Amino acid sequence: MSGLKIEHVYKRYDNEGKGKKKKVNDFAVKDLNLEAEVGEFIALLGPSGCGKTTTLRMTAGLEEITDGSIYINDVRVNDLEPKDRHIGLAFEDYAMYPPLTVYDNIGFNLKAKGVSKEEIDKRVREIAPLMQCDDLLDKMPVKLSGGQKQRVNIARAIVRRPDLLLMDEPLSHLDGKARQAMRTEIKRLINEIKCTTVYVTHDQLEAMSLADRIAIINFGVLQQYGTPAEVYDDPVNEFVAGFIGEPPMNILETTIIGENDHFFFTFANSNLKIQVPERYYNVVKHGFKCKMGVRPMDVLIGGPDSKGTPEHVATFENLGDERRIGIRVGDLLLMLITEDETRYKAGDTIKLEVRAEKTHLFDIETGDRIRSN
Amino acid sequence: MARITLENVKKSFGKVKALDGISLDIKDKEFFVLFGPAGAGKTTILNNIAGIQVPDEGLVKFDGQIVNLVDAAHRDTAMVFENYALYPQMTVYDNMASALRSNLYKKDEDYINKRVHEIAKMMSMDYLLERLPSQLSNGQKQRVAMGRALVRMPKVYLMDEPLAHLDAKLRNAMRTELKGIQAQFGTTSVYVTHDFMEALSLADRIAVINEGKVVQIGTGDAIYDLPINEFVATLMGDPEINIIPGKLSKEGSVYKFAMKGSGREYELPVDQDLFAKLDTLGVKNVDLALRPQHLRYSFESKPGYLPCTVYSYESIGNKSVIVAEIGGQQLRMIAPNGLRVKIDQDVYVDLDLSHSLFFDSESKDFMARYNEAEIRRIAEPEEEG
């Protein structure tokens, strides 16, 4: 049994209405296929407007499915009312009932379904400690901080023991510190209740830290679906490579040249020269143009004996936990991260080394990953 | 060019005290960041500088001149907001030009044309000039909003979370760009953010704001390495700094720290200056604070390592965070990616105490830290002139 199956799903918003020109919109979601196992936590990740929330809303039944099928626990739900889909919803804004206490807010949906008082009490008191809101039960929503409201909001979504939990950017209203704490709590919670979960976010960090698998979507099209390690280490294209990771992967246009039986990446208006890993030798040739990707943590500052290329520091950022250095390569900045405590300044010279074996190649036109044969 | 001074500024909205005696001295050409959690009063400070709001009490001065009664329009500031605030019916060019077409700052069209193109080129958006805002991505919109502020060369730039809506990739790029632009123009800038990385990266100095008060003012290094209290310490760094309550005791010349959660007693590495300061302060109940990068873990028992269980394990891309737990005390530490870690499994933790900070567990105020003199030398540069 799969917890969620999305099969060839399309979504197109109608643009018909009085006084409007008839116009066919692009698909907001195009031929989407996804499957989550029971108890699996998947994240839908992509920039704003990519179709991730539309997908969530179709799954919840808040939006018509233009074409294709959605199954929850192997039951086709296309024609089921939202209330019959056995789902729990937690959205970005909390939408709590202001005149009700936290306790009554959490129990509200159960009460509406006619669950007995004793059973409601049992379930609310079972869920509250999981979301660390047992001390809040008697409070009114106005008395709660943003983080507390979101805890209550999630507790309310899971108290019904849904087959599928749907969360849409639940942390985006919280400030940095509260967000970090909630991330850990959600991770604990999901481990505890083992409910199939779909989590929509534009924040790659949330997706990476929470999800078992991540579906990366752009312009309504699924780009890659894999574990955090897969999408990080083995991106299928330039979009995924650039979207996952903070700071993002350096992606630079390069011309490959052959010299003395070796190939090197070279860059317009730059002296930088990086050896191409040998596994690519059968897919590149002298004069081959592509894009080279390398993560900032795979660019290093060489020691005094380094054979690395001498380069000038263009930008230096001290971020406390780490320091980031930008090197100008043509018009672009090549970023590197270091825990080295040295405070560089613009104009300083460093020896630049690149972990060549960690470089990726992308097609200059399509952005698709070029793999070694 | 302007020096901006706030003297004991107070502002209330009904019963809510938004600003409770804010005093700041922002130097000419400085990039000054107002940093703090949501609701701290950062934006209210900015609005009082802009003249959008007027203090109930206290003075706002530009170059020594009191401006409390000067209109927002006449203060010659340029604001950049989180939500861009572009004119939807105007092209990018006209949006940027609008700042120079208002009656107050009117320039002739030749000048405007030159200036808009100059700024657009500098911000690599000259190819966008004919577009309407609806045809721009969020990153491009924010760039236009900034461009519009830049064309005018005001006395001061006021920026309210201008990067908050952008995704990680754009935010990084814009941050670097912004820093370059400010360095180039040297215009005094006041920048509001709740993102510690933005604050550390951009600021010449940071003011940490909480509940309408200034908590600490200093360089990024000072705020990060010499936080005035635990609140400031926990705002900087991701994952958050570990706060470990315990008791100090002294035997002979050696200081010991007994950790509350685990009951483990550690002999503190010798730092004579630190020990002398602890002697003077004489506080016994302390919170020891240690950044996650100064904890080590092992999945096998090792001498000296604390036996803990895994509370959570999160991959965050280039690295992971292990949260270990012992006796109700959580310990956060950095680990590489791709470890097979199960929640509630055993983990052994070692603390590198030679990076510790000490806070009074009653007042939560900073007491002392390791290597303090050296760190102070870096973090608190001598005032020039």
CA of B291: which chain A residue's CA is closest?
A321
CA distance B243 to B309: 18
Q: Domain of residue B178: give its range.
A: 4-234
Residues in A closer than 8 angstroms to B38, CB to CB, are: 146, 174-175
Indicate whether B384 belongs to any domain: no
Q: How far apart are CA A111 and CA A116, in angstroms?
A: 7
Nearest to B314 among A146, A176, A184 (CB): A184
In terms of DSSP H, where are the helices of chain B?
A: 42-50, 92-101, 109-122, 138-150, 168-185, 196-202, 220-225, 230-235, 272-281, 372-379
CB contact (8 A) between residue A205 and residue B168: yes
- CB pairs A-B closer than 8 Å: 104
Residues of A in contact with B338 (CB under 8 A): 229
For residue A183, the chain B residues in CB contact (below 8 A) are: 314
Which CATH number do you get for residue B338? 2.40.50.140
Average pLDDT over residues A247-270: 94
User: Looking at the domain assignment, is residue B301 inside a domain?
Assistant: yes
Kindly list the residues from chain A whose CB atom is less than 8 angstroms away from the CB atom of residue B175: 317
At B385 the pLDDT is 42
Dist. CA A306–CA A350, nearest whole Å: 10
Q: How many CB atoms lie within 10 A of CB A26?
A: 9
Q: Are residues B20 and B54 in the same domain?
A: yes
Per the omega criterion (within 30 degrees of 0), is the bond before A228 cis? no
Other C-beta atoms closer than 10 Å to the C-beta of B75 total 19
A202–B contact, CB cutoff 8 A: yes
Interface contact flag, B318 A246, Cβ < 8 Å: yes
Q: Which residues of B touch A (CB under 8 A)?
A: 37-38, 138, 167-169, 172, 175-176, 179-180, 194-197, 200-201, 220-221, 224, 234-240, 291, 293, 311-312, 314-318, 321, 323, 337-338, 343, 378
Domain stop point among B211, B234, B257: B234
pLDDT reported for residue A227:
94
Is the backbone peptide bond immediately before B239 cis, with ω within 30 degrees of 0? yes
CB atoms within 10 A of CB A303: 9
Residue A146 pLDDT: 81
Task: Please state, in angstroms and rounded to a whole number, the distance separating the CA atoms of residues A300 and A309.
Answer: 11
Report the residue from B37, B200, B234 with minimal CB separation from A175: B37
Residue A341 Cα, gap to closest chain B Cα (Å): 11
Q: Do A242 and B168 touch (CB under 8 A)?
A: no
Instruction: Tell me which of A145 and A365 has the higher pLDDT.
Output: A365
Taking a C-beta distance cutoff of 8 angstroms, is the pair B246, B290 a contact?
no
A21 pLDDT higher than 70:
no
Mean pLDDT of chain A: 91
Which residue positions in chain B have pLDDT lower than 50?
A: 385
| pTM confidence score | 0.85
> Percentage of chain A with pLDDT > 70?
97
- Give me the residue label for tokens 């296309």: A78
Query: Facing residues of A75 across strands?
Result: A72
Q: From the CA of B319, how many Å to the nearest CA of chain A?
A: 10
Q: B38–A146: do the CB atoms touch at under 8 Å?
A: yes
Instruction: Tell me the average pLDDT across A118-147.
Output: 89
Of the listed ranges A63-72, A106-115, B83-92, B375-384, the least confidently predicted one is B375-384
Of B234, B260, B281, the residue at which a domain comes to its end is B234
Q: Which of B181, B215, B234 is the last residue of a domain?
A: B234
The sign one gets for the Cα dihedral A107, A108, A110, A111 is positive
Mutation to test the A interface, candidates B197, B206, B210, B231, most A Cβ within 10 Å: B197
Q: Are A336 and A327 in contact (CB under 8 A)?
A: yes
Tokens of B219: 């360089």
- B356 lies in a domain? yes
Provide the CATH number for the domain around residue B129.
3.40.50.300
A320 to chain B: which residues are within 8 Å by CB? Answer: 196-197, 200, 220, 224, 236-237
Task: Tell me which residue in A187, A204, A320 faces B224 most closely, judged by beta carbons.
Answer: A320
Domain count, chain B: 2
More confident residue, A370 or B38: A370
How far apart are the two ends of chain B, measured CA to CA in Å? 18
Q: Hey, are the CB atoms on B37 and A177 less than 8 Å from each other?
A: yes
Which residue does chain B place closest to A177, by CA atoms? B235
A 10 A CB-CB count for B270 gives 11
A317 contact residues in B (CB cutoff 8 A): 175-176, 179, 200-201
* Residue of chain B minimizing CA distance to A186: B312
CA-nearest of B313, B359, B353 to B333 is B313
Q: Are both B265 and B211 inside the same structural domain?
A: no
Closest-CA distance, A247 to chain B, in angstroms, reads: 7
* Minimum distance, in Å, between the CA of residue B254 and any CA atom of chain A: 29
Is B220 in the same domain as B252?
no
| Whole-number pLDDT of residue B67 | 96
Contact A317 B176 (CB under 8 A): yes
Q: How far is B275 from chain A (nearest CA, A)?
A: 25
| Interchain contact, B167 vs A202, CB within 8 Å | yes
A180 part of contact set with chain B, CB < 8 Å = yes
Residues of B in contact with A174 (CB under 8 A): 38
User: A232 touching B, CB under 8 A?
Assistant: yes
- Sequence letter at residue A264: F
Distance from CA of A366 to the nearest CA of B (A): 20
Distance from CA of A169 to the nearest CA of B (A): 13
Residues of A in contact with B122 (CB under 8 A): none
Judging contacts by C-beta atoms under 8 Å, the chain B residues touching residue A329 are: none
| Residue in B with minimal Cα distance to A246 | B168
Closest CA in chain B for residue A343? B378
| A300-353 pLDDT per residue, tens | 999 889 988 899 999 899 999 899 999 999 888 899 999 888 889 889 999 999
In A, which residues are within 8 Å of B219 by CB distance?
none
CA distance A41 to chain B (A): 13
Residue B385 placed within a domain? no
Do the Cβ atoms of B172 and A177 come within 8 Å? Answer: no
Whether the pLDDT of residue A129 is over 90: the answer is no
B278 and B230 in a common domain: no
Residues B93 and B210 in one domain: yes
Asked whether residue A22 carries a pLDDT value surpassing 70, the answer given is: no
Q: Do residue A228 and residue B315 have CB atoms under 8 angstroms apart?
A: yes
- In this structure, the answer to whether residues B305 and B211 fall within a common structural domain is no
ipTM confidence score:
0.80
One domain for residues B256 and B290: yes
Say if B199 falls within a structural domain. Answer: yes
- Distance, in Å, from the CA atom of B348 to the CA atom of B302, rounded to the nearest integer, reads 7
Whether B244 and B211 map to the same domain: the answer is: no
Of A48, A188, A245, the CB nearest to B318: A245
Q: Are residues B186 and B266 in the same domain?
A: no
List, as ranges, residues 239-268 from A with C-beta within 8 Å of B: 242-248
Nearest residue of B to residue A183 by CA position? B314
**Residue A19: is its pLDDT beyond 70?**
no
The answer to whether residues B21 and B159 belong to one domain is yes
**What's the pLDDT at B142?**
84
Which residue is closest to B221 within chain A, CA to CA?
A: A320
Q: Do B40 and B91 belong to one domain?
A: yes
Chain-centre distance of CA B366, in angstroms?
19
B192 within some domain: yes
Residue of B37, B194, B317 lying closest to A244 (CB–CB): B317
| Chain B contact present for A61, CB below 8 A | no
Domains and CATH numbers, chain A: 2-243 (3.40.50.300), 250-370 (2.40.50.140)
How much is the pLDDT for B33? 98
Contact B317 A188 (CB under 8 A): no
Closest A-chain CA to B198: A319
Cβ atoms A203, A214 nearer than 8 A: no
User: In this structure, are B78 and B205 located in the same domain?
Assistant: yes
- Where does the pLDDT of residue A39 fall: very low under 50, low under 70, confident under 90, or very high at 90 and above? very high
